[in-house]
Structure 1
């Protein structure tokens, strides 16, 4: 997560800066934010896909009814090696297309919400006392990051559900088309089925992304990097 976060925030900042050019300070620009965020998401999907496959496969080993003792992995490396042995290198990238979609769309939504909330909150609070500027910046970071995180998962949780099913299904011949999987879920359980796990995901998303944004903005300030 540390590597993934540093990569996505770093790439987003650099691409956004390059695309903005001399138009900095003109407020959020969707034609800059969306491609910057989507490209960053596409790159980190190649890291997230194998790491999440290993994480999910290790997590479902909690009960014998799910995974018999004879088929359990000893550790994450054993999971990787066993997957490569059984399915080839492509096996650890199972669900890669769905992860790519999730990260491109999700990050475009996240950074759009973050940038707009941040911009308009600072616009409303620009006349506030400079004595409380640091406190205001933290509050804006919490609100913009937390709301961005919630928006991310509201937009792409169905894709995450499909990704998990693709990665965990033992049948090698099962479909890897996320839209076919979601269509099947929708027929059986409706929209609620496509958003299974929304509660705990939302509970995690707000504080995790709020903390990430506050830390990121504090680091930018600490390093003396200029922001629009």
Structure 2
């Protein structure tokens, strides 16, 4: 394969595998994400995981756990095509080599994958933003049969086109932090398993490393996510400038613990959803090599 950063086969392979992983990630993780959003936006009513789950089941039905799944899946495909595509391109542009230009043996750099992840997060935030806003507004609605298209109509009526970009600063803060830990943690975890558990099958390594990386990234990014969710779920916020006042407000009213509202379902979701994501991505690459575009 050519070493070109934008070599057509490599780029197509990245996008194909990211799309497969995204759909798996969405439908595995959406129920937990719905609970998280309820807990973040209405902590008085939804205070813990079990009670929140029961309330949603009782008041809105089972289907409510997948509210906003369609725009979320679409957004995840765009987000992860951007994220995995940009991250893979950065790896091709800045390979981990020694002074002679050969691939370096041993543990991965402790800086490079984390820095590349932060850059990736800033890029992915730009494509994820509209679907994330629609998802948040759909999930906090208590109407049983409300659809994402109805939410979009409400958004256009109340704020116009700018409603699709509110909280852009919030999205940048969360995603740059999240993806730094996400991709950096995945690379480190994969290397650790290969080194200390050499008999582990590759598929299990991808699954475990993806789950671990997802949990670590969400734990660190969670304080940035709570005010982001609040900003994007309302109809009175700005494209830029509402995020930091909201972060301060949440910290003052709820304490530092308030910035971790919804952490339980988020971490529960993070392992299976991101394990499915990375397993889907890595499996998608193998499928692409065998059945789609052979070298």
Q: Indicate whether the TM-score tops 0.5.
A: yes
* Counterpart for residue 195 of structure 2: 123
* Counterpart for residue 20 of structure 1: 95
* Counterpart for residue 160 of structure 2: 88
Greater CA drift, 194-203 or 214-223: 214-223
Are the structure 2 counterparts of residues 86 and 179 from structure 1 closer, same or farther at C-alpha, using a change threshold of 3 Å?
closer
* Counterpart for residue 201 of structure 2: 136
Q: What displacement does 1:187 show?
A: 2.3
Q: What displacement does 1:57 show?
A: 1.2
Q: 2:180 aligns with which of 100, 105, 108?
A: 108
The answer (yes or no) to whether the contact 2:169–2:240 under 8 Å persists in 1 is no
TM-score normalised over the length of structure 1: 0.80
Structure 2 gap segments, 5+ residues each: 1-75, 291-295
The answer (yes or no) to whether the contact 1:159–1:178 under 8 Å persists in 2 is no
Query: What's the RMSD between the two structures over aligned residues?
Result: 2.6
The answer (yes or no) to whether the contact 1:41–1:100 under 8 Å persists in 2 is yes
Distance 1:100 1:46 in 2: 8
Greater CA drift, 16-25 or 184-193: 16-25
**Match status 1:191 vs 2:256:** yes
Are the structure 2 counterparts of residues 91 and 139 from structure 1 closer, same or farther at C-alpha, using a change threshold of 3 Å?
same
**Match status 1:217 vs 2:282:** yes
* Counterpart for residue 8 of structure 1: 83
Q: How many residues align?
A: 210
Q: Which runs of 4+ in 1 moved over 4 A?
A: 172-175
The answer (yes or no) to whether the contact 2:168–2:239 under 8 Å persists in 1 is no
TM-score normalised over the length of structure 2: 0.64
